[in-house]
Amino acid sequence: MPTFHAIVWLDRSEAHVILFDREHIAAQKIKSRSHHKATGGHTGSHQGSGRGDSASGHHSPAGGHASHDETYYHSIAEALKGVHEILVTGPAQAKDEFKAHCARHDKAIDQAIVGVVTSDHPSDGQLVAMAKQYFLKHDKMNGQA
């Protein structure tokens, strides 16, 4: 469905991708295939030790190192191909990890992302309403209303 707008709600286990225009809505769920949970803590610091993300202090909320599921994020980006404006939302860090993934691997999607906002677990109907309100304000600010 070629469309101008999309909203993506995601956490690390599931994404809701909703494409819409004035007359149509198409929703898709994408599940992460990763079963890795970054749990447990560790003592000491890896700062400055040159060990990838741990050197810059990226940790999961549970205390272990963050796990990024690049295949999952790529699947979400594929579902958004051709969309002109994308709003990304979700409750925690996955939305920011997805944005960073797009900046590295899916430049067209990264350029289409117009906002990243925190939200809890809204229904698909609430997501569409949130997106319509957001895009109305965004389009007015850019002189496209």
Residue whose C-alpha is closest to residue 109's, from 75, 143, 132, 69: 75
* Per-block mean pLDDT, blocks of 10 residues, the chain (145 long): 85 95 91 64 40 40 54 97 96 95 97 95 93 82 58
Structure confidence at residue 137 (pLDDT): 79
3-state DSSP call for residue 21? Answer: coil
User: What is the number of other CB atoms lying within 10 angstroms of the CB of residue 2?
Assistant: 9
Structure confidence at residue 21 (pLDDT): 85
Q: Are 6 and 30 in contact (CB under 8 A)?
A: no
Structure confidence at residue 22 (pLDDT): 82
What are residue 102's DSSP bridge partners? none
Structure confidence at residue 16 (pLDDT): 97
Radius of gyration in angstroms for the set of CA atoms belonging to the chain, rounded to a whole number: 17
Contact partners, residue 80, CB within 8 Å, separation at least 6: 6, 8, 17, 19, 86, 109, 112
Report the CATH fold assignment for 5-34+69-141.
Answer: Nucleotidyltransferase; domain 5 (3.30.420)
Structure confidence at residue 43 (pLDDT): 40
Q: Cite the beta strand spans of 21-75 per DSSP E.
A: 25-31
Domain ranges of the chain: 5-34+69-141, 36-67
Q: Are strands 14-20 and 5-10 parallel, antiparallel or unpaired?
A: antiparallel
Residue 46 has φ and ψ, to the nearest 5°, of: -95, 5
